[in-house]
């Protein structure tokens, strides 16, 4: 493994206290070394890239000025925090970032006292920092300061505005730093982007801002408070209308300033320490700063994988054998194919056009595919509104992100029985992003909602057919199609569309004594397990159930009448999931088979490659084979002989 060597200044920094020993004149060199260290590490080991490069100067300035961790710093979104991790004692283990058993790719409270809040998802920082500030105020801990760094698209969500609305009247000592890089993973969308651009380009505002900061630099500290009140009044009365949003919410607004000028940042942050109450500092940064290719193509370089840091060539697997596509690409291409035939189809995604492959429809039919920003709740209710007018809406949201919009699924879709089609990407264990991104709970929380159809394809052909079936005119129910991150199993995936009878499974093979019931992609693990077991003269049956709701009761009656032992397999929580649905059926009809449920256990599963996590949780091919042996008594016999 290539050793990543830090520069001479960075190699001396193990805590922010070490950083504070340096003179201001050395800070730019620290920034240069920190940026290079991130490039060196990510090029070899992979991970998020552009977002952390964009906040190198801000990271150094924050830890130089503030007394972290007593002063509490919240990063949002979390993949901005690589530099933060490196400066707070994790430089020597940073090569384990996002690897099985290594450090998390996001801030994590259990990992470091400097990680004040877990932020794998976006848009939570202002609420969290405000809560910390209110608690400190209540406890009389006046020495603490609280900083929320929100950026990389996180301000496009609704939660930050709820928090801003509260922060403005709270009187709490909180600083909100708006890292404005005009990007999330894809370019930012919506009126907020235009609003921030208006602030940035307002000549009246910028002249006033420059004059104010020049005056601040000439005044002694004792005069700062007096001037601050004048700044507040001046901003409300003099500055152009564009700056009124934050001021109207009761926050003192400062900026925009250059987020790549580390000395300016340190001076500004020190000055703001003397102004009490809620404040917002607007900084302008470039995502991918310091790596030319990342600056030019910020979406590609959000998380490029490993690459040659000299040439910029991204390392890709090369094979002479046709590879199966990613499930999300099958979704994207299939959606375009269906939309070409059905003019009522529209697509909705919350800020994930590239990740979900909705980009294919956005390119082909820009008037029929909408990116709403990081706003899952709005995405669902917008879809419901479209559905009331007869549109066939494919609302594509990552499984774990759908948790934010659960109320809308119940109230705005299910209660009104609107035929919105939810395509839940990244269902199951997603891998390196870890517990904040695992799609563990969607089967459990969706199957309890009336009217919803909940299904999961075992392969690309079934995904296409489920999408085709869901958009047919006779389908009048809300539909949930869940599928995993990554590659499928069919290189020749573009099969003709076939209608699937809702609530029907399919038998893969007959067997003896033991039946394996699977839902979704893990059915392929069961196929592999059956091949392993056949070499041992063990022949379990295998059923691909396809639908969790309505579940195929006719097939379950067949299983219960022919097999005394059942193994259920799912890429979701075993608490309330697919296995629970099977057990409910058995209990309701008086069947008493021995049932073993395999899936995601009732605990938080950390990060790692999907195959590592499947093995850990015991539902990969080997885990299924072991469960069959155990049920067949083979394992017990071997142990007795031993």
Q: How confident is the model at residue 51 (pLDDT cuts 50, 70, 90)?
A: confident
Q: Which residue has the higher pLDDT, 172 or 637?
A: 172
pLDDT value at position 415? 97
506-641 folds as: Rossmann fold (3.40.50)
The DSSP letter of residue 240 is -
pLDDT digits (tens, 9 = 90+) for 601-638: 999 999 999 999 999 999 999 999 999 999 999 864 54
Of 93-97, 171-175, 297-301, 578-582, the poorest mean pLDDT is in: 297-301
Question: In the predicted model, what is the mean pLDDT of residues 328-343?
Answer: 98
pLDDT digits (tens, 9 = 90+) for 193-224: 666 666 554 545 545 555 554 555 445 544 55
Nearest to 523 by CA among 489, 493, 480: 489
Structure tokens at 395: 């609302």
pLDDT digits (tens, 9 = 90+) for 514-524: 999 999 999 99
pLDDT > 90 fraction of the chain, expressed in percent and rounded: 74
Nearest to 246 by CA among 282, 283, 200: 282
The pTM for the full model equals 0.88
Q: Which residue has the higher pLDDT, 404 or 303?
A: 404
pLDDT > 70 fraction of the chain, expressed in percent and rounded: 88
pLDDT at 442 over 90: yes
Residues facing 598 on adjacent strands: 569
Number of residues in the chain: 642
Q: What is the SS3 assignment for 523?
A: helix
Q: Just list the catalytic residues.
A: 287, 376, 404
* Same fold: 10-296 with 506-641: yes
pLDDT value at position 224? 52
pLDDT value at position 198? 62
**Secondary element (H or E) of residue 426:** none
Nearest to 72 by CA among 1, 134, 147: 147
CATH, range 327-482: 3.40.50.970
Question: In the predicted model, what is the mean pLDDT of residues 157-166?
Answer: 92
Sort residue 291 into left (φ over 0), alpha (ψ -120 to 50) or beta.
beta
Class of CATH domain 10-296? alpha beta
Residues 105-129, buried b or exposed e (16+ Cβ, 10 A)? bbbbeebbebbbbbbbbbbbbbbbb
Question: In the predicted model, what is the mean pLDDT of residues 119-136?
Answer: 92
pLDDT value at position 202? 54
pLDDT value at position 255? 86
Residues 6+ apart with CB under 8 A from 70: 143, 144
pLDDT digits (tens, 9 = 90+) for 495-521: 999 999 999 999 999 999 999 999 999
In three-state form (DSSP H/G/I as H, E/B as E, the rest C), the secondary structure along 325-368 is: CEHHHHHHHHHHHHHHHCCCEEEEECCCCCCCCCHHHHHHCCCC
Domain boundaries, the chain: 10-296, 327-482, 506-641
* CA dist., res. 271 & res. 217, Å (int): 9
pLDDT value at position 156? 84
pLDDT value at position 215? 55
* CA dist., res. 289 & res. 60, Å (int): 15
pLDDT value at position 639? 47
pLDDT value at position 241? 42
């Amino acid at each position: 493994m290539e050793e990543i060597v830090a520069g001479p200044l960075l190699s001396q920094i193990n805590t922010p206290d070490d950083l504070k020993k340096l003179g201001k004149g050395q800070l730019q060199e620290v920034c240069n070394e920190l940026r290079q260290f991130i490039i060196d590490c990510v090029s070899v080991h992979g991970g998020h890239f552009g977002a952390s490069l964009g906040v190198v100067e801000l990271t150094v300035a924050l830890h130089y000025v503030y007394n972290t961790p007593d002063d509490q710093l919240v990063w949002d979104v979390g993949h901005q925090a690589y530099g933060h991790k490196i400066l707070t004692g994790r430089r020597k283990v940073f090569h384990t970032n996002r690897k099985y058993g290594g450090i998390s790719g996001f801030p994590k409270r259990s990992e470091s006292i400097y990680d004040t809040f877990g932020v794998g998802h976006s848009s939570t920082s202002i609420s969290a920092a405000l809560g910390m500030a209110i608690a400190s105020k209540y406890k009389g801990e006046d020495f603490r300061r609280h900083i929320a760094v929100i950026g990389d698209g996180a301000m496009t969500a609704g939660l930050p505005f709820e928090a801003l609305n509260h922060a403005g009247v709270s009187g709490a000592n909180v600083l909100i730093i708006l890292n404005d890089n005009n990007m999330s993973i894809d370019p930012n969308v919506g009126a907020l982007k235009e609003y921030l651009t208006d602030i940035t380009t307002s000549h009246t505002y910028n002249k006033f801002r420059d004059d104010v900061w020049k005056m601040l630099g000439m005044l002694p500290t004792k005069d700062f408070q007096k001037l601050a009140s004048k700044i507040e009044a001046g901003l409300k009365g003099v500055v152009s209308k564009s700056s009124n949003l934050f001021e109207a919410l009761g926050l003192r607004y400062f900026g925009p300033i250059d987020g790549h000028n580390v000395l300016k940042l340190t001076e500004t942050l020190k000055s703001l320490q003397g102004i009490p109450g809620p404040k917002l500092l607007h900084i302008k940064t470039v995502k991918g700063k310091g790596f030319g290719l990342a600056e030019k193509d910020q979406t590609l370089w959000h998380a490029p994988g490993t690459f040659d840091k000299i040439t910029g060539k991204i390392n890709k697997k090369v094979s002479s054998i046709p590879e199966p596509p990613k499930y999300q690409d099958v979704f994207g291409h299939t959606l375009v194919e269906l939309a070409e035939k059905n003019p009522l189809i529209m697509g909705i995604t919350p800020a994930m056009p590239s990740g979900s492959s909705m980009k294919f429809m956005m390119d082909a039919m820009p008037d029929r595919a909408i990116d709403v920003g990081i706003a899952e709740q709005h995405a669902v209710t917008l879809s419901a509104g479209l559905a009331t007018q007869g549109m066939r809406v494919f609302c594509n949201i990552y499984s774990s992100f759908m948790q934010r919009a659960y109320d809308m699924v119940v109230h705005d879709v299910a209660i009104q029985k609107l035929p919105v089609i939810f395509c839940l990407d990244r269902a199951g264990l997603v891998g390196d992003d870890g517990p904040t991104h695992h799609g563990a709970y969607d089967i459990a929380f969706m199957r309890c909602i009336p009217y919803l159809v909940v299904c999961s394809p075992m392969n690309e052909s079934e995904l296409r057919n489920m999408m085709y079936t869901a958009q047919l005119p006779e389908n009048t129910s809300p539909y949930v199609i869940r599928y995993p991150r990554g590659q499928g199993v069919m290189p020749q995936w573009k099969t003709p569309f076939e209608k699937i009878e809702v609530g029907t499974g399919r038998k893969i093979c007959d067997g003896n004594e033991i039946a394996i019931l699977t839902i979704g992609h893990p059915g392929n693990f069961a196929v592999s397990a059956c091949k392993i077991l056949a070499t041992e003269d063990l022949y379990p049956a295998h059923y691909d159930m396809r639908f969790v709701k309505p579940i195929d009761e006719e097939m379950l009656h067949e299983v219960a009448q022919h097999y005394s032992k059942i193994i259920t397999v799912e890429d979701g929580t075993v608490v309330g999931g697919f296995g629970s649905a099977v057990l409910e059926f058995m209990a309701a009809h008086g069947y008493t088979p021995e049932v073993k449920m395999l899936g995601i256990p009732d605990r938080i599963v950390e990060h790692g490659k999907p195959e590592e996590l499947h093995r850990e949780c015991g539902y990969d091919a080997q885990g299924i084979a072991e469960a069959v042996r155990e049920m067949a008594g083979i394992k017990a016999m071997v142990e007795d002989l031993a």
